[in-house]
Structure 1
C-alpha cells in the first residue's frame, strides 16, 4: 500500500461523514404535507376532523415552528404510502423545547416525546424526536401532533427507516463529539495561555468558547443526561439566551482586544461597545424572566456586532493588517451562520435543517483559525520580548554584550564551573591610550576603533566563550573550561591580533595595542575576588609598559562564595 493511501482513506471517511450529515435520510424521499391548526382544541374534536376547515395552507417546506403559541396542533400527511416493513419513523429534527403528543394511525393512545425529562427517548440521539409508525402510512393518512411550548427553532420533519435513523444518529454523535471536544480543548489552551501570559485576549477567547459550548449543548440536548437538565435547559429558552448574550459580550471584548480597535479604529470601537451593552443588558435581564423582547434584543446585538466586526476587520485587512486578515478568514463563516441563525430565530426567514449543525461546525472552524492566530501573536510577542531582552544587554557601539550582559553571563558560568568542578578564567582587556585617540581624532573615530578591536577579539574566541564591553575602553572576556595558562595563551593571540596591523578607517590608520590581565577562578573564590585579581593583573601589564598580557597571582587566603 502506498504512503498516500491512509490520507485518501481519511479523506474518504470525512466525505462520507459529511454526506451522512447532509443527507435527509428519508425513505424513498417521502414528501410530507405539513399544515397547522393554530388553536389548542380538544383532541377528540381534532382527530374527528371537526376543525379541518381551520387548517392553514400547507407549508412550503416540511418544517414546524411556533414562536408565538404555547400549544397548537399540526397535521402531517405523506404524499405516498410508507410500508411498515422498514420500521418507519417520523423524525422531528432539532426540537429543542417542544413537548410533543403524537397520534399515529393504528396506535390506541398518543405517545409523548421531548428532548428533556421523563419523556425523552434514550434509544436515539438528541438530534431529533423519533415517533414510531408501527403500521406505516397510507398516502394522505394524517399523523396528528399536539406541540406544546413556543420556540423560535425550526424543526424539520421527515420519514426515515429505523436503519436510517441509526445511521444518522451515529453521524450526528460523531459530529457533535468532534465539535464539543475541539471547543473544550481550545478552552483549556486559551485559559492556560491566559494564565501563563496574562494577555486578556486569551481570557476573553476562552470565555467566549465556554459560552459557545453552553449554547450548543443547551439547544442541542447534549447534556440531557445531567441531573436537573430539564429544569435548566428544557423548560424555557432563558439558559441558551444567557449563554448566547454573554457569548456575544466576550466575543466583542475578544475582537476589540485582538484587533486593537481602541487604537486603530476608535469609531468602530464605540459602535461595537453599543452592541456589547445591548447584549449584556439582554443577558442580565434573561436571568429574571423569559421575555421575548430580550430574545429579539439579544439576536439584534449578535447581528449588529457581527456587521460591525466584519466591516472593521475588512477595513483593517485592506490596510495590510495581518491580525485583521486572520479575523476575516476565521470569523467570516461564523458570522454568516450566526447571522442566518439569528435571522431565523427573529422570524425573518426559514433556514435549512442543517443550519444548526453548520453553526456548530463554524464555531470549531473559527475557533481553530483564531487559536492559530493567537498562537502566532503569542510567538510574535515572545520574539519581541526576546529582542528587547537582547537589546537590553547589548552595547550599542560594539554590538558585543554590555556590562550587565557580560556580568550575567559570567555569573552563570561561575555557577556551572562550581557545580561541575571545571576550570574558568577571565581576561580584562584594555585598549592602550584610548583617550589620546579620542582627543586627536574625535569620538566617532574612537567608537570605530572600539568596534574593530571588538571584532578582532571575538575572532580569537570559541563559540562558548563570550566578550563584553565592561567600561569605556575596557573589555571583559569570559573563558569557560580554560585554565589560567590556556587563558594566557588566548590573551596573547588577542594582543597580537590588534598590534599586528593598524586600525584602518577611511583614510586613517591608527596603531593600537592592548594590555590584558588574566585570572582563573579558584575553588571557593568569590566573583569579587576574581575581578580584583584580573584587574590587578591588568594594572601590572600597564605598569610594565603596556602591550602585554599578565597572569594574576593566586588568591591570598580563602575567599568564601
Structure 2
C-alpha cells in the first residue's frame, strides 16, 4: 500500500539532492597544479625563519600524494608550488579541506608573513566562509615560487587537501555553499520554532525531546561547518575546540532515542526492543561527561568507541522502528520515512570518518539536507499526533455529553444547554419554550418484546423527533424513556404546534425490530420562559407538571402550562 509513494518520495529526494549538489559544484580550475613537498617529521621544534628563508629547502621531499596530512605528536611543514605561472583572470585562492579544527599557518609571497588559518577563528572578519580554510595569493604567482605551510599537531591524523582556485570561481562556489547551509539551517530553526509553539499549547513531553535533539543536532551541524562562529555568542564555544561537536553529538543522541521511544510508542508496540533501546542511550551521557575532560580528544579509543556505539544504536533503533511499522504503528511509519535517509547518510559519514576517506560533495550536503528533511516530516508527524489527540479529546467530550444509546444529549449536558439557552434568551430578549416528552407504556414494550426491541423503539422515536425540529432546536434524553426538546425563539403557540407535529409523527411510526413491528405514542408537556427571574428548574417543573396532566388525561396528547387546552386523541 505504501511502497509506491515511498519509492517515488525517495527518488524525488535524491533528485533534489543531485540538483543541489550539481548547483554547488566548483568550476573547473585553471591549468596550474600544486606540487607538494614535505619536511620529514621530527619531534624537534622547527624555527619558521629557517624554513621560510630557504635554508631547509633541500630537506623537503617531493610527495606524490595530493594531501598534506598533519601529525599526532608534532607539527608538519610542507612546501607548495605550481608547475606553471598563474594564468587565471583573477587572483589564485589557496584552500584546505579536511582541516576542521587544526591550525594552519601559511607563509606566502611576496612578504612571507605568517597568515593563520583556523576553523574557529573569530579575531577578524573573514573574506570567505568556513567551508574551507582559504586565503588569497598574489595574482603574479610564478611557477616554482614556494608557499610554506605549517600544520599544527592534533590528536587525530587527518587527510588535509590543498587546492588552488581562481578567486571568481572560489567565491561563486563559496556563495552557493553559504546559500545551501543557510537554507538547511533555516528549515531546522523553523521546525524547532513550530514545535516550541506546539509545546506552549500542549505541554507534551515528546515535543521537549524533539526540540532538544533537533537543537543539539543543529548545533553539531553548525559546528562542523563552522557557521556557528559567525553568530553572536559564537566566541563562547571557541575554548571548547574539538570538544564542542563531540559534546553536542553525545547530548543529542539520548534525546533522540527518548523522542523515538515516545513518538513511535515503542514501549507499547515493541516492549522488549524498546527496553534495550532505552538502556543504549545512557552510555552517551557518560561519553558527554568524558568528552568535557582535557584528555578526551587525545584518546583515540574513546572517539572510536563513541562512533561504533553510535552506529550500533542507530542500527538497533532503525530495526525497532521497522518492527513497530510492521505491527501497524502509525507514528513509527512517519518517523521511518523521515529518518531513513538521515540514518543512511549518518552511517556513510561515520564510515568516511572511521576509514579516513575524502568527504564527497553529495555526502557533504546530503547529510544536512536529510537532517532538514527529517525535521520537516517529524514536525508533520507531531502535528498528526496532535490532531489525533484532539480528535480523541473531542470524541471523549462527545461521549461525555451524549447518550450512548440514542446519540442525543444526556441529562447533564441538556441541563447545561438549558441554562445557557435561558441566559441567551434573556440577553437577546427572545422567547424560549420547552417540551417534556414521555413514551406511553414503554415498560410493557420491554416486558413483552425484550430490551433489544425497547432500545430500537427509543432510537426510532429519537429519529422521528429530530426530523420535526428546526436547525436551532436541540434534543436530549432526560432519563429512561423521557426526553427534553429545547425550542429557542419559539413562542408558547409555536411550542404547542411543534409538539403536536411530533405527537402525530410518532403515532404513525412503525418500529421494526427482531421480526416484530409495533407502534407507540408519546405524551408531551409544554412550558415557556416566564419572567426575568424564571430558572431552569422552574421551567422543567412546569413542563413536567404539564406532562403529568397529559398522562392523567389519557396519554398520546400535548398539554401546555398553564393548561389552556389539551390536544390529541
Interval of TM-score (by shorter of Structure 1 and Structure 2): 0.7 to 0.9
Q: Residue 533 of structure 2 corresponds to which residue in structure 1?
A: 524
In the aligned structure 1, how far is the partner of 2:222 from the partner of 2:548? 78
Q: Residue 283 of structure 2 corresponds to which residue in structure 1?
A: 278
In the aligned structure 2, how far is the partner of 1:234 from the partner of 1:163? 34
1:489 to 497, 504, 507: 497
In the aligned structure 2, how far is the partner of 1:353 from the partner of 1:65? 20
Name stretches of at least 5 consecutive residues in structure 2 with no aligned partner: 1-14, 564-569
1:462 to 470, 480, 499: 470
Q: Residue 244 of structure 1 corresponds to which residue in structure 2?
A: 249
TM-score by length of 1: 0.87
More displaced stretch, 207-216 vs 399-408: 399-408
Q: Residue 22 of structure 2 corresponds to which residue in structure 1?
A: 19
Q: Residue 360 of structure 2 corresponds to which residue in structure 1?
A: 352
More displaced stretch, 494-503 vs 399-408: 399-408
Post-superposition offset of 1:398: 1.9
Could you tell me whether the CA contact under 8 Å between 1:340 and 1:351 is conserved in 2? no
Aligned-pair RMSD on alpha carbons? 3.0
SS at match of 2:455: helix
Q: Residue 295 of structure 1 corresponds to which residue in structure 2?
A: 303
Q: For 1:105-125, what per-residue CA distance to the aligned partner results, in whole angstroms no more than 9, with x for missing partners?
A: 434323222233455442222
Post-superposition offset of 1:89: 0.4
Post-superposition offset of 1:97: 1.6
Post-superposition offset of 1:455: 1.2
2:269 to 264, 271, 280: 264
Q: For 1:76-135, what per-residue CA distance to the aligned partner results, in whole angstroms no more than 9, with x for missing partners?
A: 454655326421101224643222211224343232222334554422223222222204
Post-superposition offset of 1:181: 1.8
1:91 to 89, 95, 99: 95
Pair 1:162–1:413, CA change in 2 (3 A) = farther
Post-superposition offset of 1:252: 0.8
Post-superposition offset of 1:373: 1.5
Name stretches of at least 5 consecutive residues in structure 1 with no aligned partner: 1-11, 555-561
More displaced stretch, 176-185 vs 286-295: 286-295
More displaced stretch, 144-153 vs 275-284: 144-153
Q: Residue 366 of structure 1 corresponds to which residue in structure 2?
A: 374
Q: Residue 544 of structure 2 corresponds to which residue in structure 1?
A: 535
Q: Residue 126 of structure 2 corresponds to which residue in structure 1?
A: 122
Q: Residue 222 of structure 1 corresponds to which residue in structure 2?
A: 227
SS at match of 1:380: helix
Could you tell me whether the CA contact under 8 Å between 2:109 and 2:137 is conserved in 1? yes
More displaced stretch, 169-178 vs 130-139: 130-139
In the aligned structure 1, how far is the partner of 2:93 from the partner of 2:319? 46
In the aligned structure 2, how far is the partner of 1:336 from the partner of 1:134? 43
Post-superposition offset of 1:265: 1.9
Pair 1:237–1:173, CA change in 2 (3 A) = same
Could you tell me whether the CA contact under 8 Å between 1:81 and 1:139 is conserved in 2? yes
The equivalences for 1:97-108 within 5 A come to 97-108=101-112
Pair 1:229–1:508, CA change in 2 (3 A) = closer
Q: Is the aligned partner of 1:549 residue 2:558?
A: yes
Pair 1:510–1:221, CA change in 2 (3 A) = same
Pair 1:51–1:198, CA change in 2 (3 A) = same
In the aligned structure 1, how far is the partner of 2:36 from the partner of 2:412? 81
Pair 1:387–1:355, CA change in 2 (3 A) = same
Could you tell me whether the CA contact under 8 Å between 1:97 and 1:151 is conserved in 2? no
Q: For 1:288-343, what per-residue CA distance to the aligned partner results, in whole angstroms no more than 9, with x for missing partners?
A: 33513443343233212211122222223334433222222211121122223333
1:515 to 492, 516, 523: 523
SS at match of 2:120: coil
Pair 1:290–1:415, CA change in 2 (3 A) = farther
In the aligned structure 1, how far is the partner of 2:344 from the partner of 2:315? 10
SS at match of 1:463: coil
The equivalences for 1:116-265 within 5 A come to 116-117=120-121, 120-138=124-142, 142-148=146-152, 150=154, 156-226=161-231, 229-233=234-238, 236-265=241-270
In the aligned structure 2, how far is the partner of 1:259 from the partner of 1:34? 53
TM-score by length of 2: 0.86
More displaced stretch, 189-198 vs 147-156: 147-156
Post-superposition offset of 1:551: 1.9
In the aligned structure 2, how far is the partner of 1:501 from the partner of 1:212? 68
Post-superposition offset of 1:219: 2.5
Could you tell me whether the CA contact under 8 Å between 1:517 and 1:552 is conserved in 2? yes
SS at match of 1:123: coil
Q: Residue 321 of structure 1 corresponds to which residue in structure 2?
A: 329
In the aligned structure 1, how far is the partner of 2:383 from the partner of 2:135? 47
Pair 1:360–1:507, CA change in 2 (3 A) = closer
SS at match of 2:289: helix
Post-superposition offset of 1:139: 5.3
In the aligned structure 1, how far is the partner of 2:71 from the partner of 2:241? 12
Q: For 1:266-299, what per-residue CA distance to the aligned partner results, in whole angstroms no more than 9, with x for missing partners?
A: 3322332343112111112223335134433432
Pair 1:68–1:534, CA change in 2 (3 A) = farther
The equivalences for 1:398-413 within 5 A come to 398-413=406-421
Post-superposition offset of 1:204: 0.5
In the aligned structure 2, how far is the partner of 1:317 from the partner of 1:120? 51
Q: Is the aligned partner of 1:472 residue 2:480?
A: yes
How many residue pairs were aligned? 540
In the aligned structure 1, how far is the partner of 2:422 from the partner of 2:72? 79
